[in-house]
Structure 1
């Protein structure tokens, strides 16, 4: 019995895969001169438009309020998986305990991007001669933020919410203000930003998607082993045989979504209207603003 349990424990393999992917990201980043491409792209994010500045301040303000709201709204509802027995448990986190989910990271990256974008525009007034470290960080946060936001919105609308309906569970809590920002408006904010600014993106920036995916998984493991003792998502548990695939899958998902967004930006070079319409339609298809309790007919 114990032998079978040991044989079914894929924790070491999962961690090994994560380390391998991390090393691969570094190697490919060096091969493609990733940060050289970031330097080339940074100036395209700068703008002297008052409309863009107002938009960035608006998005930043809403995001900051969403973070404050998460602390003020009281206990949340979080179905977690315990590290020791891989069993689900419903918790009611408060305050900073809520910031262990991928959705909360999506919100934080979104806020950081608009904070840096607003600051740089205020200081430089659209000038791109001296971008510096903050300019590089702006590019990286945009790439990660929009990819994570589109992935989050897609998973919530097309996987999580239908599953809630299928199981006839009340899920109105998923449409509270801060949840709306994480699941819907983070994607909308950055989609509009992309349309307004038209940044020059590069395909190799998908590596940043992989990096942020690995970074979140590493955080989730550290938190489970040395902090809370649970994972916010069942697929993050490193023990099951499928765990290595799921670990890489999350990071790859962010990268794939980025590549899709990069393709949309490439279309803009030849057809601005097609690019804009594609962006709008894509965004509309992944957001949902209210619960639908109609039962799904599995037949």
Structure 2
């Protein structure tokens, strides 16, 4: 199936690029200026006291890290079966299926989410091992683990929301086959990453700090820059039709996407703030959020 897209004579690329770079620079400055304002972290809350609670965290986090690594390597990069993506080719303005192979399969934002998910679980799992064996874990490393977790959570939330409420409905409207969206590796990227990070937030002791808020915007802006470079200098296509910076309302839409990045982070921040004093409320909030965000079956299967 091939579908043509019309720009209607508009090209808002320059405006879109300037806005994205501005958001990136502002976000980096915000992170640098506020990094030290979060206060000291309680390593025992994050990684346990060295007993069974610590080792339960180790098993959970490293198991999740292996899931991410296995998904990226064996179900995606090393899988000889091409990954079918419906992409927008920049020059021809055609939306059509494209068979991606090897590392090209990691060019989606979902894949970036998978990498952040795996990195969070791996880094924090290794820190938990350090706590478990009684090693002195430097504060900067603990903070790095929290930073990666917060970034991974917001990215996973954004991915799940966009897939469920934007991409899948668009595919239904265009009469596309939904089967490819519910393969095992897609479930890990679109659903399980958010579910497992939510468990680590609620039960594992991870936290989301307001001082790390701009990290979600940094990742979002970097991906949009990467996507533009990939479309112009790389394979010539946008993985997602809605990230093309040229249409009339593209600058506003891209800012909206970055806004959703921020909202996704704030959801994690809100749950992090209430979970210690109101654990039942935090649990209900997580359950409601997940029920709104993830989708394990195609719409027709409900």
When residues 126 and 277 of structure 1 are mapped into structure 2, their CA distance, relative to the original with a 3 A threshold, is farther
Q: Does 1:16 align with 2:9?
A: no
2:203 aligns with 196
Give the structure-1-normalised TM-score. Answer: 0.87
RMSD: 2.5
1:213 aligns with 220
SS in 1 for 2:235: coil
For the 8 Å contact 2:58–2:126, the answer to whether it is kept is no
For the 8 Å contact 1:80–1:88, the answer to whether it is kept is yes
SS in 1 for 2:251: helix
Q: What CA distance in whole angstroms lies between the structure 1 residues aligned with 2:175 and 2:10?
A: 33
Shift of residue 264, structure 1, vs aligned partner: 1.4
For the 8 Å contact 1:214–1:251, the answer to whether it is kept is yes
1:61 aligns with 66
Shift of residue 165, structure 1, vs aligned partner: 3.4
When residues 285 and 73 of structure 1 are mapped into structure 2, their CA distance, relative to the original with a 3 A threshold, is farther
1:272 aligns with 279
Give the structure-2-normalised TM-score. Answer: 0.87
Q: Which runs of 5+ in 2 are unaligned?
A: 1-6
Q: What CA distance in whole angstroms lies between the structure 2 residues aligned with 1:234 and 1:42?
A: 43
1:155 aligns with 162
For the 8 Å contact 2:57–2:125, the answer to whether it is kept is no
2:119 aligns with 112
For the 8 Å contact 2:120–2:152, the answer to whether it is kept is yes
For the 8 Å contact 2:85–2:239, the answer to whether it is kept is yes
Shift of residue 258, structure 1, vs aligned partner: 0.9
When residues 84 and 170 of structure 1 are mapped into structure 2, their CA distance, relative to the original with a 3 A threshold, is closer
1:36 aligns with 36
For the 8 Å contact 1:41–1:201, the answer to whether it is kept is no
Mean alpha-carbon deviation: is it higher for 103-112 or for 69-78? 69-78
When residues 171 and 82 of structure 1 are mapped into structure 2, their CA distance, relative to the original with a 3 A threshold, is same
When residues 132 and 219 of structure 1 are mapped into structure 2, their CA distance, relative to the original with a 3 A threshold, is farther
Q: Does 1:141 align with 2:148?
A: yes
Q: What CA distance in whole angstroms lies between the structure 1 residues aligned with 2:117 and 2:101?
A: 21
When residues 166 and 126 of structure 1 are mapped into structure 2, their CA distance, relative to the original with a 3 A threshold, is farther
Residues matched between the structures, number = 289
For the 8 Å contact 1:206–1:256, the answer to whether it is kept is no
Shift of residue 128, structure 1, vs aligned partner: 8.8
- 4+ runs deviating over 4 angstroms: 126-129
Q: What CA distance in whole angstroms lies between the structure 2 residues aligned with 1:128 and 1:261?
A: 29
2:57 aligns with 52
